[in-house]
Structure 1
Amino acid sequence: MKVIGVTGLPGSGKSVVSRVAKNLKIPVVRMGDVIRNEAKKRNLTSGEMAVKLREEYGEFVVAERCVSTVKRLDKNRKKAKDKGSNSRPRIYMIEGIRSPYEVEIFEKNFRDFKVIAVHSTPKTRFKRVQKRNRADDSGKVSEFQRRDKRELKFGIGDVIATADYMVVNEGPAKKLKSVVRGILKNEMQNDSQS
């Protein structure tokens, strides 16, 4: 089994990377979904919940929950294969890595874990965040900057700096998709040879 993580600041293009993976039949586990689901249960914002979860359960909590999800998906894939159904790839993606602690957990659980970092300028990312208008996004520059600072406190800068792949996303989405498709196909090919 191969697991590839995706990191990047808000609005950098992580979800585009995930869509490319899904088109290649690679299951995607979103770390943000863990936080959003818990925030909904507790009636908190995603930002508040991201901090609170880590305070309550430690730096590894979101990563550990994602590890369990990936292992469950792979177990289900193996069961389906044993029953004669078409085997899906033994490659999975985890979107939204924010800290070196999370990378550490993934590396302990998944041999040959790789990270793709998506980078865009703050100006480009802010425009995207405004355009997508997700519930945890803000149209205010000050809120956007505050969110970046929170993410940087988690250690996302270190994750980006040490990523296996760095993809700059300043042009059309088509260009990003093409680059990411190449990376993922290469990783899939490498996995099938091992």
Structure 2
Amino acid sequence: MKIFGISGLPGSGKSLVSELAVEKGAIIVSMGDIIREEAKKRGEDSKTTATNLRKEHGKYIVAELTIAKIKGIIEDGFNNTIIVEGIRSPFEVNLFKENFKDFIILSIFANPNLRFKRLQNRKREDDSQNYEEFVNRDQMELNFGIGTVIALSDKIIINEGSLEDYKNKINEFLEEKM
């Protein structure tokens, strides 16, 4: 079994990595989904919940909840690749590395203007449709430490070309790592 993480700023293209990996038999555990589920329980927006969870339970809480979920999947007998989507801080990376042997990080990069256009088209609940809000969200992510995670990744894929080119890069990575 292999476990690796995907990181990148909103709209960079993390979800396509996940989709292609699922086609190859992987399971995705999304840290963002864990935050969105908790936000729904609390009646808050995702940004507020992400910040509050860390204030209430420490920098590691989302990673701890994710690790518990992964361990449950493993205990249930899953023996293929598990991908953690949405790692945002070096603290989270360290915790994953402490819990899972050979854990690696793949980061996806795309420039801000391209990412903003993608978010406008995607229209997920927590996607910014206003550029100022988008910039503020990026800053919040950077404050969590995502820049360090991206800079120290085991592999970075640049997603600024064609969709076909990006899919080829992802598939090369997955063939090597899965």
Structures share fold, TM-score greater than 0.5: yes
Can you list the C-alpha shifts for 1:82-118, whole angstroms capped at 9, x where unaligned? xxxxxx52x2100000000100110000011100000
Can you list the C-alpha shifts for 1:2-29, whole angstroms capped at 9, x where unaligned? 2110000000001111111111110000
Partner of 2:38: 38
Q: Distance in 2 between matches of 1:137 and 1:52?
A: 19
Partner of 2:177: 187
TM-score normalised by the chain length of structure 2 = 0.97
Matched position secondary structure for 1:149: helix
Match among 139, 142, 158 for residue 149 of structure 1:
139
Structure 1 segments unaligned to the other structure (5+ residues): 79-87, 189-194
1:107 aligns with 2:97: yes
Match among 126, 130, 145 for residue 140 of structure 1:
130
Q: Distance in 1 between matches of 2:177 and 2:131?
A: 37
Matched residue count:
178
Q: Distance in 2 between matches of 1:153 and 1:111?
A: 27
Superposed structure 1 runs of 4+ greater than 6 Å apart: none
1:94 aligns with 2:99: no
Match among 113, 116, 119 for residue 123 of structure 1:
113
1:64 aligns with 2:64: yes
Report if aligned partners of 1:16, 1:173 keep a CA contact under 8 Å in 2: no
Q: Distance in 1 between matches of 2:26 and 2:60?
A: 24
Q: Distance in 2 between matches of 1:69 and 1:164?
A: 24
Q: Distance in 2 between matches of 1:67 and 1:38?
A: 16
Matched position secondary structure for 2:106: strand
Can you list the C-alpha shifts for 1:139-164, whole angstroms capped at 9, x where unaligned? 10000000000000000000000000
Can you list the C-alpha shifts for 1:111-137, whole angstroms capped at 9, x where unaligned? 111000000000000000000011001
For 2:112, the aligned partner's letter is P
Partner of 2:16: 16
What does residue range 2-13 of structure 1 map to in structure 2 within 5 Å?
A: 2-13=2-13
For 2:158, the aligned partner's letter is V
Q: Distance in 1 between matches of 2:92 and 2:172?
A: 25
